[in-house]
Amino acid sequence: MTKNIQKTILNKINKGIESVRPYLVADGGDIELVEVTDDNIVKVRLLGACEGCPFSVMTLKAGIEQAIRKEWPQLKALEAV
Query: Could you report the per-residue pLDDT of 29-63, keeping only the tens digit for each?
Result: 999 999 999 999 999 999 999 988 899 999 999 99
Residue partners of 28: CB distance under 8 A and separation at least 6: 48, 49, 50
What predicted TM-score, i.e. pTM, was given to this entire model?
0.91
pLDDT for 4 equals 78
Residue 79 phi, psi (nearest 5): -130, 140
Do residues 68 and 16 lie in contact, with contact meaning Cβ atoms separated by under 8 Å? yes
pLDDT for 78 equals 97
Q: How confident is the model at residue 1 (pLDDT cuts 50, 70, 90)?
A: low
Domains and CATH numbers, the chain: 3-80 (3.30.300.130)
